[in-house]
Structure 1
Amino acid sequence: MSQESKQETVTSTQSTGIENNAVSDEYLSKRQLKKGVAGWIVLASLGVSYVISGDFAGWNFGLALGGFGGMFIATLVMGLMYICLVLSLAEMSSSLPTAGGGYSFARRAMGPWGGFLTGTAILLEYAIAPAAIAVFIGSYVNELIGIDGPIVYAAFYLTFVGLHLWGATQALRIMMGITLLAVIAIGVFAFSMVSHFSVDNLFDIAANPDVAGSSRFLPEGYMGIWAALPFAMWLFLAVEGVPLAAEEATNPAKDMPRGIIASMLVLIVFAAVVLLLVPGGAGAEAMKAHGAPLVGALQSVYGLDSFAAKFVNVVGLFGLIASFFSIIYAYSRQVFALSRAGYIPRFLSLSGQRKVPVWALIVPGILGFLLSLSGEGDLMITMAVFGATISYAMMSLSHIILRKKEPNLERPYRTPGGIITSGIALVLSLVALASTFIVSLQAAAWSALFYLIMVTYFVLYSRHRLVASAPEEEFDIISSAESELN
C-alpha cells in the first residue's frame, strides 16, 4: 500500500452519501500543472484551435439535413447560444480558475453530483471529438496521397499525444503555429472563392415535397432546421474548453475572459466565411456530403489539380490538426481534474517531471483511436454534441445558481445581461440536445450508455473516495464547516 493510501482518512460524509477523504501532501505534489504558460493571446489561440477543424469538415453534413436555409438558421441559433455561453463562462472562469473548467463551476454551484454529471458530459464530448476529427484528417490525407484509415489515425494520435507529453509550453507553442497556418488556409480559400459566389448555388438542393414547410430556402422544411443544429454546433464546438487552461494561465482573472471572448469573435467570422462561400461557390448539393468541403469547392471552380485546391488541402489539413491537437490538451485537463478530485481513477491525474498529466493523455487517446476505427465521422459528431449540450445546460445553470447563491463572490468580469444571458444559453442548449435524437437515435443511445456506465461507477465506488484537498472539493468542506458554526 502506498504512503498516500495509508494516510487517507474520511473527513466528511454528507447526507447525499458523498465522502471526502484526506490524503498526504505527496498526493497533490504528484499532480501538478505548469503555471503561467498561457497569456490571453495564447488562450484565444487555444479557443480558435479547439474549433477550427469544424470549418474544414463536418459542418456541411447539415446541408444535407436542412439545405442552406436550414443550416443558416441553425447556425444563427447556435451562434447565439455560444455567445451567451461564452459570456457566462468568462465570468465563472475569472472567478474560479481551476483546471476543471465547467466541471468546477458546476461542482461549486450544485455539489458533487452536479460537478460529476457536468464533467462526465464534457469528457464524452472531448474524448469523442478527436476521433471524429481523425476521420476527417483521413479524408484530407487521402485527397493528398491516397492513404486513409487506421494507419493515418494511429500516426496522428501517436504524434500529437507524444508532443503533449513533451511539455505544456512546447505543445502550446506548436499549437499556435499550426493554428496560424489553418487561419491562412481559410484566408486563401475566401480570397479564391469570393468572386465565384452565386446566391443561386446556395439553393440548388431540391425541395422535399413530403415534409411540412419545404421550399427552395428550406428544402427539408421546418424539421430541417432542427436536424441541422448539431452540425451548426460543429462550427463552434469546444470553444468552451478555454477555461480548462485556467491553472496554466498567467493571470486568470484578466486573461480568461479576454481569451475566450476573442476566440468566439474570430470563430463567428470563420463560420460566416465557410457557410456562405462553400455552397455559394460550388453548390449546396455538391458539397452536402463532401469529406473535405473547402478543397471540394475550390476543385469545382479551379479544377482538381489547381494550385488553390492543393494549397488549401495541404495547409487546410493543419486546421484539422490544430483542433485534434488542442482537444487532446482539453481532454487531458478534464481527465486530470476529475481524477485529482477522485471522481474517476486517481492514477489518471499523475503528472511526470514535465508537469503534464501522462495517463490522462494516453488512456483517452487509446480509446479515441479505437473509436476512430469505425470511420463514422458524422455519427461521432452527434455523440460529441450530445455530451456538449448536456454540459452547456449544466454550466449555464451553474452561472444562474452562483449569481443567486453567492452574490458576493469576487467576479473580476461580469457577464453582460447577467442570468438572462445564461438563461438563453440554457434554453437553447436543451433545444440542441433534443435535436441529437432527431439526427441519430443510435448516437444518442451510445452516448447515454457511456453516461450510464460513468454514473454507475460514481454511485458504487468513487463518491465514497473523493479527495478533500482537491481545489474543487476544498470550498465545499469549508462552506459546510462555516454553515455548522453559524
Structure 2
Amino acid sequence: MTPPAGTAVLCGGTAESKEYFEKRSLKKGSVNWVLLMSLGIAYVISGDFSGWNYGIGYGGWLGMLIAFLVMGAMYLFMVLGLAEMSSAMPAAGAGYGFARRAMGKVGGALTGFAILIEYTICPAAISTFIAAYVHALGLFSDVPSAAIIGFFFIVFVGIHLIGVGEALKIVFGITAVAMVALIAFFVGIAPHFDAANLFNIAPAVDGGTTLLPFGLGGVLSALPFGIWLFLAVEGVPLAAEESADPKRDMPRGIIGAMLTLMVTGALVLILTAGGAGAEFAGTAAAPLVDALNEVGEGPLATFVNYAGLAGLVASFFSTVFSGSRQAFALSRAGYLPKFLSVTGSRKTPYVALIVLGAIAFALAAIVQNGDILLNMAVFAACVSYAMMNLSHIILRKKEPDMERGFKTPGGIVLTSISFALSLVAIVSTFVVDAFAAGCTLAVLAALMVYFFAYSRKHLVGNAPEEEFAALKAAEAELG
C-alpha cells in the first residue's frame, strides 16, 4: 500500500523507508481459513478442560449457565464485528488497527497495549497449568515446575521461529487431539447424565435458592469464568497479514471457531455437572477427568487425562503466536521500541517472540499461580473488548461506505450489546480478584505513560495500521 501525499503529516509521524519494512515483513499467503479456524479453537480449548468449572462454585450451575450465555453472546457479537473489520483492514495489528482508525492514536494505543498484555500473560498462566498437569500425571515428578515451564517455552517459541505455516499446521494437529479428548469425554459421561445433579448445591447465602444457591451476586461472580470458555478467540485477526485471502478467510475462520467453541462449552458445562453433580464439579481441579472417575469411567478418564494435555499445549502455543504478532505490529508502527518488529529470513518476528517469551516465562516462574495470572489476562482482555466493539460502532457510523468483505448482521446493534456486556465484565473481574485486576490496570497505565511521554512522538506514519487512518484523513480532506 502506498500512502497518499501528506500521510506522514496526517498521522503525526515519520515515513520510514522501503528497507525498514523489508526487515519487518511477515510471510503472506501462509494461512487459509481452516488453519485460522483451528487457531481460534486452539486459543480457547484449554478452557474446556479446566478453570471454567469454578464458576459453578461461585454461582451454582444455573448461575454459571447464565454467565456462559451472557459472555457467549458478548463474544459472538464482538466476533461478528471483528470479522467485518478484519475483512476491511487486514493487518497484523488487528484490534489496535481498528481502534486507531476509529478513535485515533490514543484509542489505538490503549487497545493495542491491552491486547498485548492479554497475550503476554495468557501463555504464562497456561504454562503453570501445563506444569501442574504433567506432575499430576506422575511424569517428571522430580523436575521443578519452573524447569518444565522453561522447556515448553524453549520448544514452542522455537517452533514459531521456523515459520507461521509450519507452526499453525502443528497447532492444527494438537488441536485435533484435544478435540478427540473432548468427544471421548462427551461419549463417556453422557450415559450418566441426570438433570437433578445440576441443582444439588444447597442455598449458601440469604436469598439463595436451589436454582441460584449464591443468589444474583453469584451470577456476577461467575461471569469471568464464562469468559474462560471463549478467552482469546478474538486473536484470529492477528494473522490477517499471513492469510491467503483475508477478505474471505478472516470471517470464515473466526466465526467458524466461535460457533465450535459455543458447542463444546455448552456440552462440558451441561455434561460435567449433570454427570458428576454440580457440587462436585464446582471444586474439581481437573473437572472432565475427575467427573469421569467419579462416575466409574476410570480407563476413559486416563485417556482424557493424557490427551487433554494437548488442549493446554494448543492454547499455550497459539497465544505465544498472537502475542508476538501484536508486539510486531505495535513496534513496526512505533508504539513500542522498533527493534521488536524485526523479522528474520523465515519472516517471523523472532525478536518479539524471544522477548515476550522471556517475559512470560519470568511471570510464570515468579508468580507460580495460574489463577492469578489468568484473572490478570481476563481484565486486559475485557478492556480490549470494550474498545474493539466501540471501534466497530464508530466505523459503521463514520465510514458507512468503507469496503467490507463481510458485514455484521444487525449492524451496530449487536456490537452495542457486546460493548455494554464488556463493561459489565470489566467490573466483574474486580469482584472476583481486585488484586489481579489492579495489577493489570497498573501495567496498562505504565504503557500509556510510555506512549504519551515518548512513542506518540516517534510513530511510523506509513505503517499499515497508520496508513488506514491516514487514508481516512486524506479522504476527509479531499472531500
TM-score in terms of structure 2 length = 0.95
Name the CA distance, whole Å, in 2 between partners of 1:87 and 1:475: 20
Aligned residue in 2 for 1:370: 362
Q: After the TM superposition, which residues 59-458 of structure 1 pair with which residues of structure 2 at under 5 Å, given as runs? A: 59-146=52-139, 147=141, 149-210=145-206, 213-302=207-296, 306-373=298-365, 374-458=367-451
Contact 2:8 2:462 in 1 (8 A): no
Report the 3-state secondary structure (helix = DSSP H, G, I; strand = E; otherwise coil) of the residue aligned with 2:14: strand
Contact 1:87-1:415 at 8 Å conserved across structures: yes
Question: Is contact 1:95–1:409 with CA below 8 Å preserved after alignment?
Answer: yes
Distance 1:479 1:80, change over 3 A: closer
Comparing 289-298 with 380-389, greater Cα deviation is found at 289-298
Query: Identity rate of aligned residues, in percent?
Result: 54
Output the amino acid matched with 1:236.
F
**Counterpart in the other structure of 1:5:** none
Partner of 1:25: 18
Match of 2:318, as an amino acid?
A: S
Separation in 2, partners of 1:478, 1:281: 56
Q: CA 1:287–1:142 in 2, change beyond 3 Å: closer, same or farther?
A: farther
Q: Tell me, what secondary structure is at the counterpart of 2:201? A: coil
Partners of 2:121 and 2:322 in 1: CA distance: 12
Q: Where do 5+ consecutive residues of structure 1 fail to align?
A: 1-9
Once the 2 structures are TM-superposed, how far is the Cα of residue 137 of structure 1 from its aligned partner?
Answer: 1.4
Counterpart for residue 3 of structure 2: none
**For the residues of structure 2 that align with 1:198 and 1:143, how far apart are their CA atoms?**
29
SS at match of 1:417: coil
Distance 1:23 1:180, change over 3 A: same
Conserved 8 A contact 2:7-2:462: no
Deviation at 1:215, TM superposition (A): 1.1
Cα distance, 1:302 vs. partner?
Answer: 2.3
SS of 1:466 mapped into structure 2: coil
**Contact 2:89 2:468 (8 Å CA) reproduced:** no
Work out the number of aligned pairs and report it. 470
| Cα distance in 2 between the residues matched to 1:118 and 1:476 | 15
By how many angstroms is 1:13 displaced?
A: 5.7
In 2, Cα distance between equivalents of 1:312 and 1:233: 23
Are the equivalent residues in 2 in contact too, given 1:62–1:228 (CA < 8 A)?
Answer: yes
Other-structure match for 1:463: 456
Distance in 1 (CA, whole Å) between partners of 2:471 and 2:308 is 50
Query: Is the CA contact 1:136–1:291 (under 8 Å) kept in the aligned structure 2?
Result: no
Amino acid at match of 1:365: G
State the Cα deviation string for residues 345-375 of structure 1 (Å, max 9, x = none): 1111110000000111111111111222323
Tell me: CA distance 1:425–1:202, structure 2 relative to 1, closer, same or farther (3 Å): same
1:283 partner amino acid: G
Residue in structure 2 matched with residue 7 of structure 1 by the alignment? none
Structure 1 pair 244/11, CA: closer, same or farther in 2 (3 Å)?
closer
The CA distance in 1 between the partners of 2:19 and 2:85, in whole Å, is 29
Deviation at 1:56, TM superposition (A): 0.8
Give per-residue Cα distances to partners, 1:250-275, cap 9 Å, x unaligned. Answer: 11111111111111111011001111
1:479 is displaced (CA, Å) by 3.7
The 3 A distance-change label for structure 1 pair 177 and 150 is same
Q: Is 1:53 aligned to 2:46, yes or no? A: yes
Equivalent AA in structure 2 for residue 189 of structure 1: F
Q: Which runs of 5+ in 2 are unaligned?
A: 1-5
After superposition, the C-alpha distances for 1:135-181 in whole angstroms (9 at most, x for unaligned) are 22123212212536212211111111111011111101100000000
CA deviations 1:251-310 (Å, max 9, x no partner) are 11111111111111110110011111122222222232333211111122226xx32111
Higher mean displacement: 280-289 or 64-73: 280-289
Distance 2:148 2:44 in 1: 21
Once structures 1 and 2 are overlaid, which stretch shifts more, 445-454 or 375-384?
A: 375-384
Structure 2 contact 46–314 (Cα < 8 Å) conserved: yes
